[in-house]
Structure 1
Amino acid sequence: MALGVFGLTVGLALGGVVLLGALRFVLQRNVDTEAFRTADAVALLAAEDALPDPLPVAGGQVRVQVIDAQGRVRAASIDADRLVPMARPEWLDTGHRQRLDVPAERVGLRGPVRVVAVPAGTSADPLTVLVARSMADVRQSTHVVRTILLVAFPLLVVVLAGVAWRVVGATLRPVEALRRGAEEITGRAGAGRLPVPASADEIHRLAVTLNGMLGRLESARARQRAFVSDAAHELRSPLANIRTELEVAQRLADRTDWTAVTANLLADTERLGRLVDDLLLLARLDEMPASRGTGPVDLAALVSEVAARYPSPPVRVEPSPGPLWTAGNEAELRRVLANLVDNAVRHARSSVVLAVEPHETAYHLVTVTDDGPGIAAADRGRVFDRFTRLDDGRGRDHGGAGLGLAIVWELVRRAGGTIALADADGPHGLRVRLLLPTTPAGPEPPPTVARP
């Protein structure tokens, strides 16, 4: 605020100086114009050898003389000196129009005095017309204006500073309210919203944007807390099993079946290792931006490669029309298909069918269909959430932590595709529909994702 008032003061001061300079210049030019007009009229009379005596002038603050090359006064106005020229001959540049400032006592007018010189006469008898005008009125006018500025300038600065203070204060009051709201939210380290001003201006839009950001941050914190809680719970379970096995083996060492204990410990260790690997993968995916893959991948070959890891039946692959290329990371897409097939095999009754075909848009469609119990339509969105395991007939994910489909969701998002769940063609079963962009990647697919 102080800096703004200082800048305003400097600007007004510079404006006042410029105004005084411009006023003085305009008045001085008017004086010179009038003096030259009078001098030209007298020079015309001198050229016609018709100089009256005395020379006519308009106004009492004007003196006129006509002098020759030796500085003698040939004619003068009624109030002008007839013996001493108003400008010495050595001051004059014969044959040129001039403007001179001379002492007031030499002319007999109130100072300062402006004298203009205009050549006249003939080449045989060169003359110079001198017209003197008092600059007292000009000095008086500039003095009055300067006095007015000096008196009005401080008052104007004070008034403008007050207005600026009120206007800036009214403008910054919502910002201060936002600051206090942010300080309160930070102090209690919890959820909250900033006050939104009623005016539909930039501050209103800023408050709405900040509240949206706070809402997203709160949602992210809630997801993070839930993720940490679920991760701790899932990690505690295999650790508790391992500890129980070891304590029982320690107490009953002579009656312990070490083969069974070793098998159980290895199973829990593998489960713990898979869980840690999945958690680390999800953490890396949260930090990395979504991006289309680095190279072309043949979906038909990749589906056949993943299906070859499972016995046939239950897993079989429908024939594809040929190589179907997509832009993506081959390792990530292999992980997607492996997770989907693992999930389908775990819940299928007798068969799992994989198929890949071109879609009507610039996408390829990959489907994984099983004849298991399926998933209710109300649960098809939340199965992609982390640590989600259904308790219905589709069964609990034995040995799993509910991270497989969450990883699938993140990897498909990074590949620029979409995934959705639908009913199979038969009375039972589930079909996973995976849309992946062709090479080169096309536009975004229609919004068919079932996740909320």
Structure 2
Amino acid sequence: MRATAASIVIVAIALTIAGVVLLGVLRESQIKSIDTTLELRTNDVAALIDEDGAFETLSVEDDEDGFVQIIDAAGKVVASSTNIANEPRIIAGGEGSNTTMQFPQLDHDDFRVHVNFTASDPQFSIVVGTNLEDVNDVLATTRRSLGIGLPILLLLIAGMIWVVIGRALRPVEAIRSEVADIGGGDLHRRVPEPQTDDEIGRLARTMNAMLDRLETADVAQAQFVSNASHELRTPIAVIRHELEVGLRGDDDVLLREIAAEVLEEDLRMQRLVEDLLLLARRDGRAGEAPPVARLLVDLDDIAFGEALRVQTDKTVTTSGVSAGQVRGDPDQLARVVRNLLDNALCHAASRVDISVISTPDGLVVLSIDDDGDGVAEADRERIFERFGRLDEARARDDGGSGLGLAIVVGLVKDHGGTVTVSTSPALGGARFAISLTDARI
């Protein structure tokens, strides 16, 4: 309704202006036609005077339509049409002038008057005029036609606009109605998409794309909560079982063993909760990259430090580590290297190699290779998903919580880098590599 009303107001203003212009143009056209007729009449009278110099009684076809008056050089009326006989001289301007004036003694309508001079000697001025009744009638008829036609035309236009806008907005209403009915459990539903490439069609496709993302996020969130609950349930159950066993006995050695087991499960649960909080904080930023400290970090020092940290019977070599300096948060980058190293140790048969190199294209690449089974190409994206495990049946002690690599991807992305997995050319297992911008470039 608002769109139709606004359109009608604009159209009404435009049509009113057009009507006024039309009336003005029509009047000018009629006046020019009358001026031409009056000029021809003065020429006829002037020709008559030039031929014999005599004045016969001047007349017009209709005494109420016009008049003729001849004035000598002294300003005396020497001849006139019968309808203005004995009338004083008409003062209407110089030669060739056209004037609109009134003659109440003849008619209440305006008269158009033209003045011309003869070429004879003595010279006379000829004044002819005609009333504008026909012009006024034409203008009045046109105004009445416009007064009747414009409202009807506006009604027709209003109806057309109402239909066109209603048809154009009908898909919007369908989209609005569908979106209004979509609840939290109905994210699988989609709004109807009109088969057009206009703004409404693009709106519908954008809405459906948004619903796709919401459904994907909802499924991912539900899966995340389910996996987190599953991961937390196991240490909680272990802790409960150990405590129940401890309550039934009074052996100090047994109690110490139980305490050690409970502490181990508690640490496992603590690490899991910390990982969940880290991911939740990143998710809570609505797609914005969290702020990262821009400190100078020696990636080779972090690699050496993490290699010394681990306690394992597997061989960890750092012979491939060379100087590499990047900008970022040292704690977060240490977390990245630690997670990758722990992951490699979980799957290595006997050896893990760490290397850090600076490339000619301005990157520092840290790679961790193992001699395990490697990662198949079909699984190289899935392993970076949260709680992603290639072998769902393997032991928890070997598999961890499934959040380590997801955290690696997030932290490296925050630092403007990338993470890739491939086959280790030297050890035959998996190679995880992170690439960061060299701070020295």
User: What does residue 288 of structure 2 align with?
Assistant: 289
Structure 2 residue corresponding to 1:12, chosen from 7, 12, 15 = 15
Query: Corresponding residue for 1:332?
Result: 332
* Pairs aligned (count): 432
Matches within 5 A, 1:2-401: 2-3=4-5, 4-32=7-35, 34-35=37-38, 53-54=55-56, 61-67=65-71, 72-76=76-80, 78-79=81-82, 81-85=84-88, 87=90, 97=97, 99-105=99-105, 108=106, 111-116=109-114, 129-186=126-183, 189-252=186-249, 257-286=254-283, 287=285, 288-290=287-289, 294=294, 297-310=297-310, 314-319=315-320, 323-359=323-359, 361-391=361-391, 396-398=396-398, 400-401=400-401
Displacement of 1:231 in angstroms is: 1.4
TM-score by length of 2: 0.81
TM (norm. structure 1) is: 0.79
CA shift for structure 1 position 71? 5.8
Q: Secondary structure at the match of 1:197?
A: coil
Amino acid in the other structure paired with 1:203 = I
Give the CA deviation at 1:73: 1.2
Cα deviation 1:49-79 (Å, max 9, x = unaligned): 9865249798753323234688631333x44
Q: Specify whether residues 440 and 135 from structure 1 end up closer, same or farther in structure 2 by C-alpha distance, changes over 3 A only.
A: farther
SS in 1 for 2:109: coil
In structure 2, what residue type is equivalent to 1:317?
A: T
CA contact 2:384–2:406 (8 Å) conserved in 1: yes
The aligned amino acid for 1:386 is R
**Which one-letter code corresponds to 1:434 in the other structure?**
I
**1:102 aligned counterpart, secondary structure:** strand
Distance 1:379 1:41, change over 3 A: same
Shift of 1:281: 0.9
* 2:158 partner SS: helix
Tell me how far apart the structure 2 counterparts of residues 397 and 102 of structure 1 sit (CA, whole Å). Answer: 114
Give the 3 Å change call, closer, same or farther, for CA 44–234 of structure 1 in structure 2: farther
For 1:152, give the aligned amino acid. G
Aligned to 2:182, the other structure's residue is in SS state helix
In structure 2, the residue corresponding to 1:186 is in which secondary structure? coil
Q: Residues 57 and 376 from structure 1, CA distance in 2 versus in 1: closer, same or farther, beyond 3 angstroms?
A: same
Distance 1:40 1:342 in 2: 116
Q: CA separation in 2, counterparts of 1:225 and 1:417?
A: 29
CA contact (8 A) 2:59 2:82 kept: no
The 8 Å contact of residues 358 and 364 in structure 1, kept in 2 or not, is answered as yes
Q: CA deviation at 1:137?
A: 1.1
TM-aligned CA distance change 1:431 to 1:399, over 3 Å: closer
Instruction: Structure 2: give runs of 5+ residues left out of the alignment.
Output: none
- Aligned partner of residue 99 in structure 2, secondary structure: strand
Say whether 1:433 aligns with 2:433.
yes
* Alignment-derived partner of residue 445 in structure 1: none
String of CA shifts for 1:382-437, please: whole Å, max 9, x gaps.
22111123438986444831110110111222233322222223565321122333
**Structure 1 pair 431–187 and aligned structure 2 pair: CA distance change class (3 A):** closer
User: CA separation in 2, counterparts of 1:328 and 1:247?
Assistant: 47
- Give me the CA root mean square deviation: 4.0
Question: Sequence identity, in percent?
Answer: 35
**Aligned equivalents of 2:236 and 2:308: distance in 1?**
34
Q: Distance in 2 between matches of 1:231 and 1:145?
A: 83
Tell me, which stretches of 5 or more residues in structure 1 are unaligned?
A: 442-452
